[in-house]
Amino acid sequence: RTHIYYCHPYSAFERGSNENANILIRRWLPKGTKLSEVSQAEIEQIQIWMNNYPRMVLGGRCANTALAEWMAAEGVLLPFVHI
């Protein structure tokens, strides 16, 4: 019942969502940035920005909106910190 997906090294086309997230992160943190030098506050700021960024795959909605809509439709109650 479990499906396993394998992505080949240097085959970015096999993991599109991951690569798109990397592109968004690179807007804030250029390649080569030492993550040990990035503050927790800056990481949280990037996280909030990414979760509120409109996505074509979500019909122009942001991830927070899509999750909130799904939770309302399913009757799921989870605390939201950032919307």
- Note the pLDDT tens digit of each residue in 27-64: 999 999 999 999 999 999 999 999 999 998 899 999 99
The reply to whether 57 and 44 lie within a common domain is no
For residue 24, the enclosing domain spans: 1-51
Average pLDDT, whole number, for the chain? 88
pTM equals 0.72
Separation in Å, CA 34 to CA 37, 45, 50, 60, 81: 6, 17, 20, 32, 27
The reply to whether 14 and 45 lie within a common domain is yes
Q: How many structural domains does the chain have? A: 2
Q: Which residues contact 74 (CB under 8 A, 6 or more apart)?
A: none
User: Taking a C-beta distance cutoff of 8 angstroms, is the pair 61, 55 a contact?
Assistant: yes
Burial of 63 (0-12, 13-18, 19+ CB in 10 A): middle
The reply to whether 31 and 58 lie within a common domain is no
